[in-house]
Amino acid sequence: MPRWDPEGETRLREAALELFLERGYDSVTVAQITEKAGLTRRTFSRYFADKRDVLFAGSDELPGVIADGIRAANAEASPMDAVLAALDGVAERLATQASIAAQRQAVVRTSPDLQERALTKFAAATDAASAALRDRGVPASTAALLAQVALAIFRTAFSRWLEDPAEASLRDRVHESAVELSGSLSAANVKH
Amino acid sequence: MPRWDPEGETRLREAALELFLERGYDSVTVAQITEKAGLTRRTFSRYFADKRDVLFAGSDELPGVIADGIRAANAEASPMDAVLAALDGVAERLATQASIAAQRQAVVRTSPDLQERALTKFAAATDAASAALRDRGVPASTAALLAQVALAIFRTAFSRWLEDPAEASLRDRVHESAVELSGSLSAANVKH
């Protein structure tokens, strides 16, 4: 086994997800994961704190990636354009991860604890997006509204993408969801 | 003390909120609440299961009120118009509750446990709104998106209303928030 293994993280994640789905999340041990991946506990610890971290390591980055994307957007971009540019950035990072993301979602659905952790993650991403919008001069209350809507768009796009990753990219699903929401609001009796 | 007291629920809620804010939620007992309100434990039990229920009894009704409002909306109403009509119904029920709602929000902010419970309540309201939209023939994925956005609009409107209840009604704040969101999406580079 090579000491340096750029594929180690992916192999461990794949092994863990397979085991979680086969045997149930609660009953799987880190030893079983490393054995299945053909890697050591030391390698596991290089990438993950514990077995729950295998599921959430990626989403830990979500708040930072969204916030950075909003801050990095063109200074002239409207707040919602900055949000959509940030979601494009997230979509790009996840572009090749559909299969892992779908398995991960299936595991999370088996456990109320994991679902609650996922909700907390979304709340953290919403807060980060809201703070980044305020940094662009968006008033606090509007920033909070647009941040919540950004996450709603992203979650919708993500579910649609996972249903059929070959049909459209996550990025396309983000734009499709934003267009749909915009259309729903325009069709409503809301004057502005 | 009269045996029948239509104001009992309100008196108990006011007494509880005052005590929670004065002494901290965790240290207040039901006996202290009933004593302050000048009512019996029996009266308390008629309205509330426990002291946490004093904070959440109203929001227990939120999912049902939103879902009923969406189902009752005019058959020709667009999905977002049905959502806004439902939020109007919620706003009407809460119209006279600004002072209690503000105190309640202040108490919830003091405790991560209570905040988590509030998040779970919003998730339940989102699920109920989503199911009601599906009953109107809205596709599942669109229903979930619009339900999340409905709650985002409502939470924004609610916070704005509590900041200055005299300036505008909750109903007006709901429409203001919807108009603002619609404007943000129209201003973005989202074509539909």
Q: ipTM of the predicted structure?
A: 0.85
* Cα–Cα distance measured from residue B147 to residue A113, given in angstroms and rounded to the nearest whole number: 23
Amino acid A132: pLDDT: 98
More confident: B121 or B146: B146
Report how far residue B123's alpha carbon sits from residue A155's, in angstroms, rounded to the nearest whole number. 14
Flag residues of chain A having pLDDT under 70.
1-6, 191-192
Q: What's the rounded Cα separation, in Å, for the pair A82 and A133?
A: 8
Q: How far is residue A23's CA from residue A26's CA, in Å, rounded to a whole number?
A: 8
Place of tokens 């941040």: A147
Give the separation between CA A105 and CA A56, rounded to whole angstroms: 11
Query: Could you tell me the end-to-end alpha-carbon distance of chain A, in angstroms, rounded to an integer?
Result: 64
How far A123 CA sits from the closest chain B CA (Å)?
Answer: 9
The predicted structure's pLDDT at residue B4: 52
What integer pLDDT is reported at residue B81 of this predicted model?
A: 96
Q: Tell me which residue of A52, A35, A51, A34 sits closest to A43, measured CA to CA.
A: A34
CA pair distance B168, B175, nearest whole angstrom: 11
The two tokens of residue B77 are: 């109403």
Residue ranges of the alpha helices (H) in B25-78?
30-37, 41-47, 51-60, 62-72
Closest in A84, A116, A159 to B141, CB measured:
A159
- Asked if residue B58 has pLDDT above 80, the reply is no
Alpha-carbon distance A46 to nearest alpha carbon in chain B (angstroms): 31
**How much is the mean pLDDT over chain B?**
91
**What pLDDT band is residue B2 in, cutting at 50, 70 and 90?**
very low
- Distance CA(B70)–CA(B142), nearest Å, equals 15
Closest-CA distance of chain B to residue A47, Å: 29
Number of CB pairs < 8 Å for A and B? 121
Look up the pTM and report it. 0.87
CB contact under 8 A, A146 and B181: yes
At B188, the pLDDT band (50, 70, 90 cuts) reads: confident
Partner residue facing B152 (CB), from A83, A123, A145: A145
Question: With contacts defined as CB-CB under 8 Å, which chain A residues touch B153?
Answer: 145
